[in-house]
Chain A
Amino acid sequence: MSQDLSVNLQQSILNASLAGNIDANVSLFSDDAVVMPPNDTTLFGKAEIQAWWEDYFQYFRIVSSAESENELTVADDQLLNEAQLPSLSFLKNRVRDP
């Protein structure tokens, strides 16, 4: 199930990126998300992530994006996800958030 969830989430991220759908993309991040894009400053929270994507899609359009590798590990309520774009992320299970 967790593997399915990860695949679905990854697919959602890829689809949102390919479509340039910023709202859909940002909705996949938690409120306290931290993103560290290369050659750029760290982004804290949804507002900064949204601004980053808005800036990105102002200049670029993603025409193809595919993962060559994806490994998932579940620890407590966290999904540790290593995807080969490459990126390293952990997805928080919001259902169990207090």
Chain B
Amino acid sequence: MGINQILSQKPSPRGEVGFRVSDVIDFARLRGVQGLDTKAVSTQISCRQDPILALRQALNEAGKAGDIHALISMYADDVIVMPPNDTTLYGRAECREWYQEYYQYFRIVALSESEREVAVHGDFALERSGYMIAIVPVPGGNRIRDDGRSFNIWRRQADGSWKIWQSMWNSVKPVGSGTNRYLSRLTQKKTKGKR
């Protein structure tokens, strides 16, 4: 019996993707599957449960690298992004501009997820995550640490790829601490510039 058959025999009650690795491995062993490659099973299940896992990891890496092109490539054309303490961004061009400004002032030196949950519903994947981020000002200065959360809605595109369609994030830290004060200053600077 192949792993695909095993997976197909264990659908979730609501038809959503959702398997616990341990359940499937136990199930396979009960069915007498020999030489089960648990790592391969885990990978396959992860892809079924979480089709955006690799993209999320790539997104984090692009963020750390300051690779704006890679970041923007993960957004849908009609993306809407709601960064904290800032105006809503509509479309890739506005997102690119936002990141260009961000990386003009900051560099991300650490980014790790403390929590992550994904639910797939048709062509939409709802992703909630908690993260720790550390940034340093480009001109120099102290490392700034923040803890935040993000909520992304990924949408499957016509070509089958997944892109971020709507996104927002914020900090758990009080106003005036974490990265907020720096982003607020950035926003204030932008506002003054438009006057």
Contacts and interface: CB of A to CB of B under 8 A. Distances in A.
Contacts of B13: 98
B166 A82 contact: yes
A76 B149 CA distance: 25
Interface string A32-47: 0010101111100000
B123 interface: yes
A56 to B, nearest CB: 15
A75 B155 CA distance: 10
A39 B149 contact: no
A18 interface: no
Contact of B175 (A39, A73, A90, A98): A39
B177 to A, nearest CB: 9
Nearest to B177: A39
A51 interface: no
Contact of A39 (B82, B130, B180): B180
Interface residues of A, number: 20
Contact of A86 (B149, B168, B180): B168
Nearest to B126: A90
A98 B175 CA distance: 41
B149 A42 contact: yes
A42 B130 contact: yes
Contact of A78 (B82, B124, B149, B173): B124
A80 to B, nearest CB: 6
Contacts of B121: 75-78
Contacts of B139: none
Interface string B169-189: 011111100001000000000
B64 interface: no
A42 B151 CA distance: 12
Given A86-B82, A88-B82, A39 B124 contact: no
A77 B121 CA distance: 8
Contacts of B171: 38-39
B166 A38 contact: no
A75 B124 contact: yes
Contact of A88 (B153, B174, B175): B153
A84 interface: yes
Contacts of A88: 82, 151, 153, 166-168
Contacts of B174: 39
13 contacts: A36-B149, A36-B170, A38-B170, A38-B171, A39-B170, A39-B175, A42-B149, A75-B121, A75-B123, A76-B124, A78-B124, A80-B124, A82-B166
